[in-house]
Amino acid sequence: MAKIGIIGSGSWGMALSVLLYNNGHEVTVWSALPEEIREMQQTHRHHTLPDLVLPDHMVFTEDLEETMTGKDLLVTAVPSVYVRSTAKRMNPFCRYGQVVVNVAKGIEESSLMTLSEILEEELPMADVAVLSGPSHAEEVSKSLPTTCVAGATTRKTAEYIQSLFMSEVFRVYTSPDILGIELGGSLKNVIALAAGIADGLGYGDNTKAALITRGIAEISRLGTAMGGKIQTFGGLSGIGDLIVTCASMHSRNRRAGILMGQGKTMEEATNEVKMVVEGIYSAKAALALSEKYEVSMPIVEQVNAVLFEGKSASEAVRDLMLRDKTIESSDIPWE
């Protein structure tokens, strides 16, 4: 049995907390929201996962020191925009060599850093790792079969995380490519916004397939230019996560895109979704990274134009279709 602290009580943090508890571990959950802690203590329910029953012996607290002290593993599950501020609060209680696995997805707009890079900067004493893949909290909370990948600097840490999370309904693979895993998990949210916009416009399966296929091409181009491994983008945290986020109604990014495709503004769409839409926060960062590394990302460009420049969704699709003619893969030579 391991002692585990969950930093963040959103739907993903709570789904994983119950998974880990059911795996036989001692779990403490922290939230920055006192009313959320009181709700879970009193009802053993979470408002975003109404069918999930929280175990009686799981601990819920506002005390970050209590959540972190003496723990074998810390799981950071706060939205990407709060990762840095939360890590600063964690610093005084983080011991040397503490394993911290980040399960959130995003890129910091101001610094263009991945979330693990932020954690490494704010918690230099920690052993920072990631867990990512096609894994909606709604399905994990119902014990539906799911696969993820654990990325870490050392094989030992990756296999340790694998051993804690693995169960008959949650299979975990390991990888040394932390950067590639995080980029795949972050950038797919931007492509999912585009897929949702296409759905909102009433387009069909052909359009969805095109966005997924050309989307992973954009993600792979940028990811490898930044140092990620091409195999990662063909794996669970790349094409796997992209498929599920573009196709599922569990995806808040796709749902927000659908609303924008139907004519709602970005603000109206996010208000209706009522959850953090990570793709909106990652879109500007993705565009800035594409410019920094001189990588063509036309879908990302058009998503930014719709989100922040007032461009209509139908015009964005038209401009994508009418771009200059090109070859599908420049790596394949003609005879």
107/285 Cα distance (integer angstroms): 6
Residue whose pair of structure tokens reads 């893949």 in the numeric block: 133
Residue 302: which residues within 8 A CB-CB, separation 6 or more?
A: 194, 311, 316, 317, 319, 320
Given 71, 105, 188, 229, the catalytic residue: 188
Annotated catalytic residue 188: yes
Active site residues per annotation: 188
